[in-house]
């Protein structure tokens, strides 16, 4: 499916509104979902998984309206491996200029045991359901849920069936976040080499973060040949979440020297959507979260602040402006040094001599020992309450 011209293009499939919303407590209202979908469309997400239409009337309506409104993104809905789910999904995505049905079934021994299907019965079901979906839309994604714990031979067999039945994207979910990066790359590479027809479809990677390896696994899968990453804003998702969109997109941008792939994401829109998803889902972003955490571009220690004031590249590998943050911040705290204090004073309009700075620095440290962060008003108060100029 990928041509020579776009062989390095990685499609971004965002599932914030489906897998992300499945996080306990992350339910969003209809209007909030429409807003997030609009932001995703606007930032260049290739495919938006807008919901699970059979799950509820609300999900059906949200997927239908997103399908009708979206300008650029492909709009996808999720469906289990039965005709009722697939028909409902087709109806929900119908008004999209580019509708996709994503149908799945659990293929690992543990998951096969739930519907109590033999391997042959499940293979037949995959054939029937993918064929049915493909009769309704041209763009069909199929996922063997828990692929990374499915027997190799069976995984190859069912993927071949799905491709022959008309699937255009084969997604390989690491449903329980069990895989390690070296396995993730190897699995995709071997599947592409082994399964007949694999060259005619896009392979996708869908990683969960139970062991904190979702981003690494997704990038490794790309190295192995996957050309679609499934991810969510802020890594929202079931249990420990999914691959974080902002992490994979920025990793591919910043380390393009060793990962020569590109996405269509306008990275300057990342911070705004991260904040909106945090607000509407009620999931606070941890301060040290990569890319979008409050501290991702903040430097408190004296050595770091001094380095940053001399050359930003000393301690920053990407520009905050590239992810939509106004700039680096040098919060003042007990680890800060004289250079940062002088810089802050100058920003506040105070030019001080060396002796005055020495005195202020002593009093600043006393204050910083008591407070977690020293704010502009604290510095102004320090200036007002003493410190003779030299």
Residue 143 interacts, among ligand KIV, Zn ion, none and using kind-specific CB cut-offs from 5 to 8 Å, with ligand KIV
Residues counted in the chain: 390
247 binds Zn ion (CB under 5 A): no
204 DSSP β-pair partners: 171, 228
- Confirm whether residue 19 is marked as ligand binding: yes
Q: Is residue 377 marked as binding?
A: no
Q: How far apart are CA 101 and CA 356, in angstroms?
A: 68
User: CB under 8 Å to 18, separation ≥6 — which residues?
Assistant: 49, 50, 51, 52, 78
Partner from Zn ion, ligand KIV, none contacting 21, C-beta within 5 to 8 A by type = none
What's the DSSP call for residue 268? G
Question: Are 162 and 142 spatial neighbours (Cβ–Cβ below 8 Å)?
Answer: yes
Total site size for Zn ion, rule CB under 5 A: 1
Cβ distance to ligand KIV smaller for residue 64 or 209 = 209
- Count of Cβ atoms closer than 10 Å to residue 279 Cβ: 11
| CA distance linking residue 210 with residue 88, whole number of Å | 31
Q: Closer CB to ligand KIV, residue 146 or residue 300?
A: 146
Does the annotation list 210 as a binding residue?
no
Among 104, 261, 361, 364, binds ligand KIV (CB under 6 A): 104
Q: Binding to ligand KIV (CB under 6 A): which residues in 132-171? A: 143, 145, 171
Residue located via tokens 């255009």: 168
Shorter beta-carbon distance to ligand KIV: residue 207 or 382: 207
**Binding pattern for the stretch 4-33 against ligand KIV, x by CB under 6 A and - elsewhere:** ---------------x--------------
Determine contact, residues 46/288, Cβ cutoff 8 Å. Answer: no
- Compute how many residues bind ligand KIV; rule: CB under 6 A: 9
**Nearer Cβ to Zn ion (16/96):** 16
64 binds, options ligand KIV, Zn ion, none, Cβ within 5 to 8 A by partner type: none
Binding characters for ligand KIV, 164-203, by CB under 6 A (x = yes): -------x-x-x----------------------------
Instruction: Give the SS3 label for residue 266.
Output: coil
Q: What span, in angstroms and rounded, lies between the C-alpha atoms of 248 and 153?
A: 30
CB of 196 to Zn ion, least distance (A): 27
- Provide the token pair at 303: 């050595």
User: Is 206 one of the binding residues for ligand KIV (CB under 6 A)?
Assistant: yes
Q: What phi and psi, each to the nearest 5 degrees, are found at residue 379? A: -70, -40
208 marked among binding-site residues:
yes
Using the minimum distance from each CB to Zn ion, give the nearer residue, 19 or 146.
Answer: 19
Q: CB of 125 within 8 A of CB of 77?
A: no
CB-based contacts of 389, cutoff 8 Å, min separation 6: 352, 353, 355, 356
C-beta of 79 vs 90, nearer to ligand KIV:
79
What is the nearest approach in angstroms of Zn ion to the Cβ of residue 22?
8
Q: Return the SS3 of 205.
A: strand
Residues in a beta bridge with 193: none
Contact track, Zn ion, 14-33, x by CB under 5 A: -----x--------------
Binding site residues for Mn(2+), as ranges?
A: 19, 206, 208, 242
Residues in touch with ligand KIV (CB under 6 A): 19, 104, 143, 145, 171, 173, 175, 206, 208
């Amino acid at each position: 499916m990928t041509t020579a011209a776009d062989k390095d293009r990685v499609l971004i499939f965002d599932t914030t509104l489906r897998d992300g919303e499945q996080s306990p407590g992350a339910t969003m209202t209809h209007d909030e979902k429409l807003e997030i979908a609009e932001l995703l469309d606007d930032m260049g997400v290739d495919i938006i998984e807008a919901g699970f239409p059979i799950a509820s009337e609300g999900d059906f309506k949200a997927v239908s309206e997103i399908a009708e409104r979206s300008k650029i993104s492909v709009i996808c809905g999720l469906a289990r491996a039965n005709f009722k789910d697939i028909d409902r999904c087709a109806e929900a995505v119908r008004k999209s200029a580019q509708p996709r049905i994503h149908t799945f079934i659990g293929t690992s021994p543990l998951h096969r045991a739930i519907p109590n299907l033999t391997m042959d019965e499940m293979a037949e079901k995959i054939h029937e359901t993918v064929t049915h979906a493909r009769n309704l839309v041209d763009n069909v994604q199929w996922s063997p849920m828990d692929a990374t714990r499915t027997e190799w031979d069976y995984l190859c067999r069912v993927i071949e069936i799905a491709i022959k039945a008309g699937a255009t994207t084969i997604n390989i979910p690491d449903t329980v976040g069990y895989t390690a990066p070296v396995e993730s790359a190897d699995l995709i590479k071997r599947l592409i080499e082994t399964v007949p027809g694999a060259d005619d479809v896009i392979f996708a990677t869908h990683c969960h973060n139970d062991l904190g390896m979702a981003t690494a696994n997704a990038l490794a899968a790309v190295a192995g040949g996957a050309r679609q990453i499934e991810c969510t804003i802020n890594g929202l998702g079931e249990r420990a979440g999914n691959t974080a969109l902002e992490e994979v997109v920025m990793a591919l941008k910043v380390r393009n020297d060793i990962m020569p792939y590109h996405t269509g994401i306008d990275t300057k829109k990342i911070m705004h959507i991260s904040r909106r998803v945090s607000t509407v889902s009620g999931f606070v972003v941890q301060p040290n979260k990569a890319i979008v955490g409050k501290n991702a571009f903040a430097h408190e220690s004296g050595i770091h602040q001094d380095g940053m004031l001399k050359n930003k590249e000393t301690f920053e590998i990407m520009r905050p402006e590239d992810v939509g943050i106004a700039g680096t911040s040098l919060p003042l705290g007990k680890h800060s040094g004289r250079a940062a204090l002088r810089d802050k004073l100058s920003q506040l309009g105070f030019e001080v001599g060396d002796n005055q700075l020495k005195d202020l620095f002593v009093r600043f440290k006393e204050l910083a020992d008591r407070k977690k962060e020293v704010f502009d008003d604290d510095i102004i108060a320090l200036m007002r309450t003493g410190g003779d100029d030299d």
